[in-house]
Amino acid sequence: MSEAIDYEPSLHAFVEDLKAQVRKREYGALLIVASSTHTEFVLDLFPPWSCVQYEEQPDGSMGFRVKAKSSEGDSPRFESSLHVLLTIRDLALQKAAELIHISDAILEQIKDAGVEVDHRMGGAGTDGAIQ
């Protein structure tokens, strides 16, 4: 018996193409792409030039390591590395707040229309359920 695929192959391929482009250009990225049934995301904060890199921990979890090439002259690399991380963080927080507001308003309208919605699709700003 074959196992069911738990992802959408065309969406997955598209996101893999995006990841390849991000890495080829040595960018940091937070990508979220959704179809009508599935969502894929990429969080790649540390391009190869960054002084911060992901590092697998002894327990198998992912951590990170900050490493300078030399004790002098790394200030621009540190600043650039932090720019990627902090800009993505700040924009993600801003967009999350906007998405919470939008989704809560839409869910309220759906509730007011008497339409039942799967409780797992509740607004992130609520308890996740439509009463």
Question: pLDDT tens across 75-108, in order?
Answer: 888 899 999 999 999 999 999 999 999 989 998 8
End-to-end Cα, the chain, rounded Å? 40
pLDDT at site 69: 67
pLDDT at 117: 75
Q: Are 30 and 15 within 8 A, CB to CB?
A: no
* Burial environment of residue 25 by CB neighbours within 10 A (0 to 12, 13 to 18, 19 or more): exposed
Residue 52's CB: how many other CB atoms inside 10 A? 19
Q: Are 55 and 76 in contact (CB under 8 A)?
A: no
pTM of the model: 0.73
Residue boundaries of the structural domains of the chain: 9-111
Higher pLDDT: 28 or 76? It is: 28
Element (H, E) at 67: none
| % of the chain residues with pLDDT over 70 | 82
Question: 113 vs 129, which has greater pLDDT?
Answer: 113
